[in-house]
Amino acid sequence: MTLPQPATGPGAAGSPATGPGAAARRELVLREAVRRRLLDPEDALLAVFVDLDGVAASVAELHAAFPPEAEALHTFAAKANCLVPLLARLRGLGMGCEVASPGEFAQALAAGFDPARIVFDSPAKTRRELVRALELGAAVNVDNWQELDRVDDLLRAGASASRIGVRVNPQIGGGSIGAMSTATPTSKFGIALADEGNAERLVEAFRARPWLSWIHVHVGSQGCPLDLMAEGVAQAVAFAERVNAELGRRQVEGIDLGGGLPVNFADDTTAPGYADYVGRLRAHAPALFDGRYRLATEFGRSLLAKNGFTAAYVEYTKESGGRRIAVTHAGAQVATRTVFMPDAWPLRITAHHPSGAAKDGGDPVPQDVAGPCCFAGDLLARNRPLPPLEPGDLVALLDTGAYYATTHFQYNSLPEPAVHGFTVDAGGAVHFEPLRRAQPIEELLRPVD
Ligand SMILES: *Cc1c(COP(=O)(O)O)cnc(C)c1O
């Protein structure tokens, strides 16, 4: 398969959506979107734009970071951006798909993924969901002892082509965002490797189950430093080595490293990159790359976040107690984490004229950027210095290609906004392609019978 090659040379790391030129590219897309009424002050109050060239470059960077002999299956964590046309594009770029619910599983199948390139992770898989995954031959990562018993029962009833692994929790601690840290001592995920007796019990579980052949670990997401992630993977690899040594056979064939590469929300540079992470993995877990293990990854945020932005109109501006406030159409419904955990998830915001052109004249003035939801905390930014916003202007929320508008929060019955993919050709022409239509209000009126 031919993968798009990233440009080479200094500053080539990252996608077209990052690095120098990123701001001009966003401005170009916004102007075009206004001109074509993909943004409209009455009909399309907000919309999301996903840089498909950028996504291709990010995927290429991921593939290039791993040595070709590693035989890695790189899957995209669907929860980061679950739109079927986007998933189909990622499939075309050589990705597999990681899913963690029946909905995501259905979306991955609708996007055309071969079930053998789908990885099913979830801490709450039902019996029926497991039956279907095993029938289709999707990879399954078992989360806990009870699920392992369940899989035993199902495999007694019929063989499966699925590669089956078990998720371990190396219990090495969390990063700076508690809700994103999955390898704490008491995390809900996986089998706690350091708990008394668990490692021995798990070795015996492998001995009794020749079909159990992978180990899965996902240390965490945003906020976890690379060395913490790499150390978690190292502990999973050390455990695989122990299983294979004690059983005297190559039973653990593969390591699924999970995702979690953190994203820089502070400016247009991509850092750290996949190559940095692979460097840390080589340092902490050299056995991972010595050819004895097949590999899988499950990156989400790092592939999409910086390749998307959300644009919304300013409806009104006001002043309250000396505070300047711009009321926009983007709030908790599309930026849920930023609104509820503003310190953990700050977003960059840029100000634009109604034409989409950047507003850069005049001194920045501290302003609250508010959303449309009817609760006081619905703020995208507090006291943020920005060019003075006026009604009819646009604001763009940067780095929102993952876990923002595609994980919609249905507060105040606000509908899901449209998502548009775009590419920019060599002549600078912008091509849009729909990834999700705006949700019509009628959809909110679904009858009860
Ligand atoms: C969420 C999740 C991922 C993706 O994490 P990112 O931070 O988006 O890369 C991968 N694997 C599992 C099991 C997850 O829960």
For residue 280, the model assigns a pLDDT of: 96
Mean pLDDT of 85-112: 98
Name the one residue in this structure whose structure tokens are 């392609």: 433
Percentage, residues of the chain above pLDDT 70: 97
| pLDDT (tens digit per residue) in 251-264 | 999 999 999 999 99
Residue whose CB lies within 8 A of the most ligand 1 atoms, among 166, 176, 221, 407, for a mutation test: 221
Query: Over 90: is that where the pLDDT of 184 sits?
Result: no
Q: Which atom, in ligand 1's list, is nearest to the CA of 222?
A: 7
Query: Over 70: is that where the pLDDT of 317 sits?
Result: yes
Q: How confident is the model at residue 199 (pLDDT cuts 50, 70, 90)?
A: very high
Gap between the Cα atoms of 263 and 180, Å rounded:
13
Q: Ligand 1: does its nearest atom lie under 6 Å from the Cβ of 175?
A: no
| pLDDT (tens digit per residue) in 333-351 | 999 999 999 999 999 999 9
Q: Ligand 1: does its nearest atom lie under 6 Å from the Cβ of 184?
A: no
For residue 15, the model assigns a pLDDT of: 73
Q: Which atom, in ligand 1's list, is nearest to the CA of 301?
A: 8
| Number of Cα atoms under 13 Å in the Cβ half of residue 224 | 30
Q: What is the pTM of this model?
A: 0.95
For the chain, state the CA radius of gyration.
Answer: 23
Tokens for 102?
Answer: 């029946």
Least confident of 143-152, 222-231, 282-291, 311-320: 222-231
Q: Ligand 1: does its nearest atom lie under 6 Å from the Cβ of 256?
A: no
Query: Over 90: is that where the pLDDT of 365 sits?
Result: yes
Which amino acid type is present at position 414? Answer: L
| pLDDT (tens digit per residue) in 143-162 | 999 999 999 999 999 999 99
CA of 82 to the centre of ligand 1 (A): 13
Q: How confident is the model at residue 180 (pLDDT cuts 50, 70, 90)?
A: confident
Tokens for 194?
Answer: 């350091």
Query: Over 50: is that where the pLDDT of 186 sits?
Result: yes
Q: Ligand 1: does its nearest atom lie under 6 Å from the Cβ of 143?
A: no
Mean pLDDT of 4-26: 65
Gap between the Cα atoms of 358 and 354, Å rounded:
9
| pLDDT (tens digit per residue) in 27-58 | 999 999 999 999 999 999 999 999 999 999 99
Q: Ligand 1: does its nearest atom lie under 6 Å from the Cβ of 218?
A: yes
Which amino acid type is present at position 250? Answer: R
Q: Ligand 1: does its nearest atom lie under 6 Å from the Cβ of 121?
A: yes
| pLDDT (tens digit per residue) in 104-132 | 999 999 999 999 999 999 999 999 999 99
Query: Over 70: is that where the pLDDT of 359 sits?
Result: yes
Q: Which atom, in ligand 1's list, is nearest to the CA of 303?
A: 9
Q: Ligand 1: does its nearest atom lie under 6 Å from the Cβ of 79?
A: yes
For residue 90, the model assigns a pLDDT of: 98
Query: Over 80: is that where the pLDDT of 319 sits?
Result: yes
Which amino acid type is present at position 309? Answer: F
- Which of these, 423, 441, 439, 419, lies nearest to 38 by C-alpha position? 419
For residue 10, the model assigns a pLDDT of: 35
Helix axes 52-65, 84-92, angle to 10 degrees: 50
| pLDDT (tens digit per residue) in 379-415 | 999 999 999 999 999 999 999 999 999 999 999 999 9
CA of 314 to the centre of ligand 1 (A): 33
Length of the chain in terms of residues written: 449
Q: Are 193 and 233 in contact (CB under 8 A)?
A: no
Q: How confident is the model at residue 14 (pLDDT cuts 50, 70, 90)?
A: low
For residue 20, the model assigns a pLDDT of: 79
Tokens for 15?
Answer: 């996608």
Q: Ligand 1: does its nearest atom lie under 6 Å from the Cβ of 190?
A: no
